[in-house]
Amino acid sequence: MRVTLRDVADDVGVSVATVSRVLTGKSSGRVRPEVAADIRQAAARMGYRSNALARGLRLQETRILGFISDVIATGARGGQILLGAQDAARRYGYTLLTVNTGDDPDVEAHHLDALASYRVDGYLYASMFNRPLALPSRLETLPTVIVDATSPTQSTPSVSPDEKAIGRLGARELLRAGARRILYVSTPAPIVARAARLDGFFAEIRGTTADVEVRVLEIAESISHARGPLVEALKSDVDGVFCFNDLRAAMVYQASTAAERVIGHDLAVISVDRTEMLQQVLYPNLSSIALPHYQMGYWGCTKLITSLLGNSLDLDDPSLTDLPACALSHALLAPGEPVDGASCILTK
């Protein structure tokens, strides 16, 4: 039913070998140009589409990559990683077999079986947030790149956001906006980003000559618990707030009303995540440092493919070397001005 090499060969009156040579671009100097043209034309006319299974079987190379994520493709951020990876894959003629484990080892095992069955050439292992992430042992010996996480043993290449740079950047923006008594709204969760952003933040503060006071407040993700402490903290003479993420920034917005502090006037606020929905909803617009999810996906996939092909990354390609931790922003702090970039951490 589907048209095959054989069909095209019969139509033109040549052998399948010749058709194959022409259609895989191995014909220059090896097939008469007129014949090649005929073949290409017939293939197009007949709607020939090479069978990737047969090709994969023969070549022991499928050009399929397994994209494994915990619960990532579910959230908006994870979607961006997937998109970036997909764009990179497309560019090199690869396709992604996506799979979600829901952080369930049984589900993961099932999916790893499936991916192995389809003989994917390599794996992208994506995490829903930056953390040390041990690869399932079955993947340890296979071509794999970790995205938005790091290998605890450094044995696998990975891309993750430069959390310290994010902290630095946030501090810089608040200082630039004139803030001197800063509230740093953090998370109680012991994740990589908590410590690293705080480090970067203080590193930047120490580097300034201004007299700055910082208070760190950790709040949970539930507004009902966070509200009280936040209102309390905002009632003091705070003039700048660094928010660990947009969720907390949204809480700060709510609390600021109760504390009768006007954001953009009494208070400068900077946050991290650039959540689209909150961008549309918060007033005045939230200044937020974007995490480079798309870029990490793109970089991770390119890294994987080039290593599969035995090449190294093309460092002249700006999409590979220019990995900002943030791009444009509604700049509440200095309206109209975009917030600067900070880079990713690439291993190997």
Residues near a second copy, by CB under 8 A: 2, 49-54, 56-57, 62, 64, 67, 73-76, 78-80, 82-83, 86, 90, 95-100, 102, 107, 110-111, 113-119, 221-224, 227, 246-247, 250-251, 254, 257, 275, 277-278, 280-283, 285
User: Tokens 């709204």 sit at which residue?
Assistant: 185
Q: How far is the CB of 208 from a second copy (least distance, A)?
A: 32
Contact 146, 125 (CB under 8 A): yes
Contact partner, 59, from DNA, a second copy, none, Cβ < 5-8 Å per class: DNA
Side-chain half-sphere CA neighbours of 51 within 13 A: 10
| Residue 23 found at the interface with DNA (CB under 7 A) | yes
**What token pair was written down for 162?**
């430069």
Cβ proximity to a second copy, 115 vs 175, nearer residue: 115
Contact 255, 230 (CB under 8 A): yes
Phi, psi of 239 (to 5 degrees): -125, 5
Cα gap 187→189, rounded to integer Å = 5
| Residue 11 found at the interface with DNA (CB under 7 A) | no
Find how far residue 9's CA is from the centre of its chain: 44
Cα gap 175→204, rounded to integer Å = 9
Contact partner, 269, from a second copy, DNA, none, Cβ < 5-8 Å per class: none
Cβ proximity to DNA, 8 vs 233, nearer residue: 8
Q: How far is the CB of 116 from DNA (least distance, A)?
A: 11
| Residue 95 found at the interface with DNA (CB under 7 A) | no
Cα gap 55→64, rounded to integer Å = 12
Residues that bind DNA (CB under 7 A): 2, 4-6, 13-18, 20-21, 23-24, 26, 29-33, 35-36, 48, 50-51, 54-55, 57-60
